[in-house]
Structure 1
Amino acid sequence: MIEGFAGAILLPGSAEYLMAATAYGKVGTPLLAVRPTDAADVAVAIAYARAEGLVLSVRSGGHSPMNTNDGGMVLDLSRIRGVEVQADNRVRLGSGAVWGNVAQELQRYDLAVSSGDTYTVGVGGLTLGGGIGWLVRQYGLAIDSLREAEVVLPNGAIVTASDTSEPELFWALRGGGGNFGVVTRFTFEAHPLRGVVAGAITVQPSHFAETLRGWRDVMRDSPELLNSTVFVTPEFGPEMPAQTKLLVCYGGADLDEAMTAIRPLLALPGVTGNDVELKLFVEVFDEPSAPPGSIRIVDRNGFARDFDDALIDRLSNASFSSAVLMVRYLRGALNRVPVDATAFAYRDAEVFVSYAAFLPPDAPVEAERRILDDWAVVAESLTGTYGNFNLGIYPDVLSLMYPPATAERLRAAKRRYDPENVLAHNLNIVP
């Protein structure tokens, strides 16, 4: 069907097609889905989509609703998933690999790459958006450990992007998403890691404001090996009561050293228990799912340069009755990268704040408006947004993702590498 294509071509009616066409609960109806085996296959598939005038969606792990479409082509990279450990702790990862499998493979070498939180998130999507994860304080974002990328450009050329080869493309890929080419393989600098000390500390929800202040003060004085997130879930029925947890991950296998850093969190008011223990890094990867029956999601996020009392008060007073709230501590290696070194510009952040509200599909417009009104109060203390945590496209998302200087540089890169906007089915930077 596609001349010169060596991978799998999936057509409607097969289980494999349905799997490739479904992304984050959205069931698309593309004309076809293709699974290339290498960069040459990707170039052939892109050429076919261009010749046929097909909308092109690129997916690795499939955790974004934009990884599928109706009537176009889904370019599913799941066959390009190798994990190759090279010299000097370099690791070459296929874009279609998922981070849980990467962590599982690298633990055999006592190595890890700073990545996300979720087992099945794809290497490609998370990396191109920045990559905030459990090692962010000690090693920064995933892109901060990226050393080069194999990229198929929309014109079919296969290039290597690095600091010395296509440096402007390399800059744009690190935070600019899949706007410039299809990355088939990434080469990272991995970091020594024999294990982590991780788990959840449960806190009474009634102590929320006090918990946030105490957590902030502890984290400000803690070593950068201690990573932590405040995670709040509302009640989702009798079997899923409201919960407040302090999730921790100490990036080292010395239990005594780790507990010295974690113990001040255990002493905070309202703490009711914990399951913190020595683990393999792969064991901290989660696989969250939406609450039963909740298929309409309203989500927003942003960064705070200073997690001050005013922001804590705003969070405490907001009525997130149907929302999952997450406050992740960031201060550390992320802040030491110059703001213009990558397309991820929010390098001065102390915390990242994210929420996702779950509504029934028939919820009135007023319900969504109330949630966004509550968020607007919190957002007054925030700046920017993290593209990887935006499940949809809303009017100001791109202006929040990229400050003016970053946005202009990205548009220039788009004009150079994808002037016809072939790669448009994403958080799209228009040339």
Structure 2
Amino acid sequence: MNSRFPSHQLNSGLYVSGRPEPPKEKAPSMFSTAVPYTGGDLKKSGDLGKMFEGARKSGQLTSGPLRTGTMGGVPGSATMKKTSSGPLNKHGEPIRMTSGPQGGAMTSRQNSGPVPPVLPTTGLITSGPILSGPLTSSGPPRKSSGPLDSSGSIKSQNTSMVKNQAVTHLSQDDTPSFFKSFPKLVFWSIVLLFVMGFIAAFFILAAVGNPILLIVVVVLFAIVSFAFSWNAYWGRKAVIKFISEYPDAELRTAKDGQFVKVSGVVTCGNVPLESSFQKVPRCIYTSTSLYEYRGWDSKAANPTHRRFTWGLRSLERHAVDFYISDFQTGLRALVKTGYGARVTPYVEESVLIDIDQSNKNMSSQFKNWLAERKLSTDDRVLRLKEGYIKEGSSVSVLGVVQRNDNVLMIVPPPEPVPTGCLWTRCMLPASLEGIVLRCDDSSNHDIIPV
């Protein structure tokens, strides 16, 4: 059979077109044996162990002994970079997947995904990046997450508390007083009326010689001055009395946006405070004040310090967010007094130290406290006071209820809340700004926090 196209006969006797296919070389079969467990000992790893032994002696390997096991697809050794996934064979090794024609002894492993980062020695995955740096003999550098609990970090945490944005720093302007809460427009209007009254009274007295108007103006001026002095002296106690008599509300039935008073036990939030001088831990409010007495020829503690009075020289007053558990229902609410919120505290301070000419040799703790704040003593008469609200104390809070996604909070009111006239105590109207804190058992250290 003659044809232009070549053909050949198969073993079955059938003729097919084309040239006969050359015989294929048989691919060598691959056998896998179980790798003996060496426990990370380089001496038992054969030639591979000798290679890494030389690298370790030359200073190139610092990650400690090799690990043959894997966890979560990540090898224990820092020098191994491959990770495998898929089923395992009877020897415990990954099944090797081949691709393409089996024309040789080389096979390719099927890898999935990028190589994950090196895990800590514990195998625990934490949030945030692992700290950078070289590996040591104990494994990769540890990553710290959450609050610092070691005693060595307490000092650095306290020093950075002043710069923490979660802490509200209260100044002298935040101290409640009668003249600050009294409306300025009303005050200056009264002053203007008395000035005009005195001018008219003196003019009538000079022109007509009738002193009746002058006597009336003087009597009215004396009554108003006495009323202002009375309110300035007893105003703080009157407001405290108003807070104590204000009815408590139940958080369970309080409406959103309602101004309420809640009394209960306080618990620290994420950022607890520590008192400045006594170092009382886990506080939600701290106040440390240094006063100086000014005589006739002594220096003034501040620009408005008058002679023969105590003047404020230094003030450290802080507040943070905290929780309060209602006495009536046991419901817990978050009180937003941190992050620069408006707070009006009514917390009593205790006198800790009195320094005068008779006891110049003050305690070393007080000297260190003054040195840290760069305050000199000289021959001044000093007095140190401190107050705080510790976790577990009973506190009364006045604020606005806010409900947001099943989270119950007490926030500062948008406008000052007036107290109204307290006629029984001859008190003029005052105003309460921000969240009002009232605590009178801050010195009780035996209360158990809840």
Q: TM-score normalised to the size of structure 2?
A: 0.19
Q: Which has the higher contact order (CA 8 A, sep 6+)?
A: 1
**Greater share of residues in helix:** 1
Asked which structure has the greater CA Rg, the reply is: 2
* TM-score normalised by length of structure 1: 0.20
